[in-house]
Amino acid sequence: MKIIVATHNEGKLAEIRRILEERLGADAADIELVSAGSLGLPDPVEDGVTFQENALIKARDVAERTGCPAVADDSGLIVDVMGNAPGILSARWAGEHGNDKANNALLLKQLADIPDSKRTARFRCAAALVVPGERKTDGADDDKPYTIASETVEVGEMPGVLLRAPRGANGFGYDPLFVPDGYDSTFAELGAEEKNKISHRARALEILERELRCRQKDL
């Protein structure tokens, strides 16, 4: 069974693959995960106002274009003293999409005067699964010839605190600044296996896994 992960980030694809392999066990061997980027699919406009809406936008776009089940996630950092920012703007907080160094630098500057006790934050992830239906018969919208049969979206969170300087070389995004509750290491200092057990993405995919298991025979 082929499932397309609606991302152009191969690092995210690898992380999702590891999480699902751990969650699905032997059943993971029956699932082939490929990225939308490797297939040359375009990035849809993410104009939702929540992580859930943006995850569904990405998964729907891939399913409608390809006729294959699609998984997508949308995630970001929520800083309590900043009124839930950066939120859905996390990846482009400093302006350029995906510039982790600039995003981290800007966030640290904005939090410079915030005491350690107030530097609480949460990573939030919405994970969506969209299953396509039949091919459209009216010939409309040739770029997206398939209907949608079903869609599911789940949310996971990981609370923690933000440091005053980055630590660690693993991960991406705000991982070097974020220490999850119950740990002394940042996400960027944790190994992939440990991070995948506790991360916001793992928690969202853990819930979504039940839906995958229920639908695996039908997909």
Burial pattern 175-206, b for ≥16 Cβ within 10 A else e, equals bbbbbbeeeeebbbbbeeeebbeebbbbbbbb
Provide the angle, in degrees to the nearest 10, between the axes of the packed helices 10-24 and 200-215: 60
- Catalytic pick among 74, 141, 142, 175: 74
Which structure tokens are listed for 38?
A: 């490797």
Has 143 been annotated as catalytic?
A: no
Task: Spell out where the chain has E strands.
Answer: 2-5, 32-35, 70-79, 120-135, 146-162, 178-180
| Residues designated catalytic | 74
